Structure 1
Amino acid sequence: MSFQDVYGTEPEGVWAAPGRVNLIGEHTDYNDGFVLPLALPHTCHVAAARRDDGVLRFHSADVPGGAYQLELDALTPGPEGGWAAYPAGVAWALREAGLPVGGADIHVAGTVPTGAGLSSSAALEVGTALALGDLYDLGLSRERLARLCQRAENDFVGTPCGIMDQMASACCTEGHALFLDSRDLSRRQIPFDLAAEGMRLLVVDTRVKHTLSDGAYAAQRRACERGAEALGVPALRDVPYDGLEAALTRVDDPEARRCVRHVVTENRRVEEAVGLLERGETRAIGPVLYAGHASLRDDFRVSCPELDTVVEAADGAGALGARMTGGGFGGSAIVLVEEAAARPVTDAVLAAFEKEGFGAPRVFEAVPSEGARRM
């Protein structure tokens, strides 16, 4: 269904915001660390028009059921609300920031797989914020837009995510990965044109759904905070890599200790990957990806059998590198391959899933794409 089918009029505009994959730098953003995501060609499209009665109406082409209708003045944070909680949370966050947002009719349609660790929620948030920002002439910078979308997810939906997903959706550029310092939001676009170098980056969606608001993600974040508190630092970003072993002896909590080790070494891996890419040594990031997965599996403990199977099968079939991406507990993995190896590696992953009795995964290529924009 289109906007006109649902609301009987044409929209004032259509905006698009992409999902993302994170090349390296997992669970570092809410520890003030470094990340290196890229935008996917898969997007959430938001068609919207203003209303003058203080009412928000949301409809999705991808979710069965009718439109949600909410009063702007009655928006209240809470764990219920389904998919509409994300755009409603954006409107709430904008108003909480004192911005003059009025009512709107909003129709969304997307191609970002949901529950796959590819930031479908951030794409929906950023697309909605961009639409409302343009409709009501709010003059939002991309950084402020991303911060407000993060607040919507943190405080309205109830997921304690970091800033990476929203910044990636808002700020990535075509043909690049985004080197982002999540503390001050300084960023640098790192060229990442795999096709020109005879490589591909595959995304393997295990189809194991994950819900980050169910408590496991929050538990990991709390463990990181306990580690920072034990070490007397504002965030784990402030633990130097060359002082890691000494720092670990000061953390008595075993779970927090593992999280400290992951975050500190993962920040180093991001910096290492950026250095390699800037020197044109793209293939050399493969071992960095494998090391990142081992850390997420063994220290941070957010992998699952399906994600481990992707990485093991890809490694056995000659992939340059592979690791889980996203929050974990399901979702997707990325696999860096030589172009000629894309089919054999894909076949090896599919065969491994069949052998293990898992449902068939979805495999597609990640092409670094443009960030959020008005169509």
Structure 2
Amino acid sequence: MIEPKPREETAQRVRAAFTETYGNAPAGVWHAPGRANLMGEHTDYNDGLVLPVALPWGVTLALTPTDDDTVEVRSAQYPQEPVTFTPSTLTADPPTVTNWGGYVAGVWWSLRHAGHLPATGAGARVYLDSDVPAGAALSSSAALECATALALAQTFDPTGLAQDRQTMARLAQRAENDFVGAPSGILDQSASLRCQADHALFLDCRSLGARNVTLPLAQAGLRLLVINTKVTHRIADTDGGYAQRRRECEEAARILDVAALRDVSDLDAALEHLTDPVLRRRVRHVVTEIHRVNAAVGLLRANAVADLGALFNASHLSLRDHFEVSCPELDLAVEAACAGGARGARMTGGGFGGSAVALVAHDRIDDVCAAIAAAFADRGWTLPEVGVATPADAARQVL
């Protein structure tokens, strides 16, 4: 089982590592969580609705500002790969910093160009640690961006950007889109910055209006399992499947003469108008997935959380068959979880690997985990990592 590390313990360890590395204590320590999406996959960049939760795993970051114009970043995950850059000379095309450091530098670039950092002198020393698996479709990149953005906002613009998490999410998304080059929507950054413990974030990705809806898992005797298949998921690839799906959605919206697929009000008429069977499948998924988000919120308001399982299953089938972003390992994880007693399961995130989530009664967790392990062992595949994901709070300063 994947066990979350105690936040206070992690924060103290990161603070101590910063002090040992740089010779002085940091100005503060911040934590930003990864996310799992309960419903609303590939709807965010279609101006649709989503329903994520923040995870108990994330990125913890210590920072202290400096008087110079240089930034040095060190990571517990990449101890031999320190990243250094000068904020005033960062460029996005081509990106001045690449690989994992690009997510940090991209936030500096995004906030500086938006006027939330000084033109010069926005230097800092940074040390970070992460317990959210990279490449698992659990938004490790967004957690890194949001931890960086919140630390910078509270350090350099405490009465401005630090008070506006909606704008902060947009700027973190811009870092990922325009600096790193990943064509992601606003879901991940919003979840990391705006979620609340024991709630799911009901977010309108067009207006960015949001409210946290009570998710009474424990009261219903349920747990949310995250199943990391260990099949690497990556969306920062302009030629990859994620980018292709986004282009297909944009093309369908153009043909249907709507601003985004969120605006399709008559699905049958839209499908009749489209002649390309691929675009028909893409539109069917996006439109029905938005309906499933509304249905999920309705169930939560009715205190019928156990009934989310059927929606999980329907969503996964649509992602597998209509949007075609699943993979054999995700399909097996979902099938085995349900066979082992889960109320429902679905892939989460961009797809093509990564993780699934399953809704499981607390007394069936061992059965579900055993069923997943047996199914993967039978195929000779690497065993997934499974963890109980208690919905957590959004990014915050922890020390």
Is the Cα contact below 8 Å between 2:340 and 2:370 reproduced in 1? Answer: no
Q: Which amino acid aligns with 1:47?
A: A
Structure 1 counterpart of 2:7: none
Please point out which of 110, 115, 127 is paired with 1:107: 127
- Match status 1:94 vs 2:111: yes
Deviation (angstroms), 1:278:
0.5
SS in 2 for 1:196: coil
Q: Distance in 2 between matches of 1:66 and 1:310?
A: 34
Structure 1 stretches of at least 4 aligned residues deviating more than 3 Å after TM superposition: none
The C-alpha deviation readout for 1:13-69, integer Å capped at 9, x for no partner, is 001100010011100000000000000111201100112211111110112314211
Q: Distance in 2 between matches of 1:311 and 1:245?
A: 29
Structure 1 counterpart of 2:85: 70
Any residues of structure 2 matched to 1:345-360 within 5 Å, and which? 345-360=368-383
Deviation (angstroms), 1:11:
0.6
- Match status 1:341 vs 2:364: yes
Structure 2 counterpart of 1:234: 259
Q: Distance in 2 between matches of 1:317 and 1:361?
A: 15
Is the Cα contact below 8 Å between 2:18 and 2:24 reproduced in 1? Answer: yes
Is the Cα contact below 8 Å between 2:216 and 2:305 reproduced in 1? Answer: no
Structure 2 counterpart of 1:320: 343
SS in 1 for 2:236: helix
The C-alpha deviation readout for 1:268-306, integer Å capped at 9, x for no partner, is 000001001100111111110000000000011110000
Q: Distance in 2 between matches of 1:76 and 1:360?
A: 41
- Match status 1:142 vs 2:159: no
- Match status 1:294 vs 2:309: no
Q: Which amino acid aligns with 2:269?
A: A
Deviation (angstroms), 1:317:
2.0
Q: Which moved more, 1:337-346 or 1:223-232?
A: 337-346
SS in 2 for 1:351: helix
Structure 2 counterpart of 1:30: 45
Is the Cα contact below 8 Å between 2:220 and 2:306 reproduced in 1? Answer: no
Q: Distance in 2 between matches of 1:121 and 1:52?
A: 28
Q: Distance in 1 between matches of 2:319 and 2:279?
A: 14
- Match status 1:9 vs 2:51: no
Q: Distance in 1 between matches of 2:37 and 2:250?
A: 23
Is the Cα contact below 8 Å between 2:49 and 2:293 reproduced in 1? Answer: yes
- Report the RMSD for the aligned CA atoms in angstroms: 1.1
Q: Which runs of 5+ in 1 are unaligned?
A: none
Is the Cα contact below 8 Å between 2:59 and 2:143 reproduced in 1? Answer: yes
Give the TM-score normalised by the residue count of structure 2. 0.92
Q: Which amino acid aligns with 1:275?
A: G
Deviation (angstroms), 1:347:
0.4
Q: Which amino acid aligns with 1:207?
A: K
- Match status 1:124 vs 2:144: yes
Q: Distance in 2 between matches of 1:325 and 1:51?
A: 39
SS in 2 for 1:212: coil
Deviation (angstroms), 1:5:
2.0
Give the TM-score normalised by the residue count of structure 1. 0.97
Please point out which of 50, 56, 62 is paired with 1:47: 62
Deviation (angstroms), 1:76:
1.6
Q: Which amino acid aligns with 2:166?
A: E
Q: Distance in 1 between matches of 2:82 and 2:340?
A: 47
Structure 1 counterpart of 2:389: 366
SS in 1 for 2:329: helix
Q: Distance in 2 between matches of 1:66 and 1:206?
A: 27
Q: Percent identity between the aligned chains?
A: 52
Q: Distance in 2 between matches of 1:100 and 1:204?
A: 39
Q: Distance in 2 between matches of 1:340 and 1:98?
A: 52
SS in 2 for 1:57: strand
Q: Distance in 1 between matches of 2:104 and 2:116?
A: 16
Q: Distance in 2 between matches of 1:273 and 1:343?
A: 26
- Match status 1:187 vs 2:207: no
Is the Cα contact below 8 Å between 2:146 and 2:169 reproduced in 1? Answer: yes
Structure 2 counterpart of 1:199: 222
SS in 2 for 1:180: strand
Structure 2 counterpart of 1:246: 269
Q: Distance in 1 between matches of 2:331 and 2:300?
A: 26
Q: Distance in 1 between matches of 2:233 and 2:267?
A: 31
The C-alpha deviation readout for 1:148-189, integer Å capped at 9, x for no partner, is 000000000000100000000000001100000010111111
Structure 1 counterpart of 2:11: none
Q: Which moved more, 1:96-105 or 1:277-286?
A: 96-105
SS in 1 for 2:72: strand
Q: Which runs of 5+ in 2 are unaligned?
A: 1-13
SS in 2 for 1:174: coil
Q: Distance in 2 between matches of 1:173 and 1:99?
A: 25
Aligned length: 373
Deviation (angstroms), 1:318:
2.3
Q: Distance in 2 between matches of 1:274 and 1:12?
A: 40
Structure 1 counterpart of 2:4: none
Is the Cα contact below 8 Å between 2:116 and 2:157 reproduced in 1? Answer: no
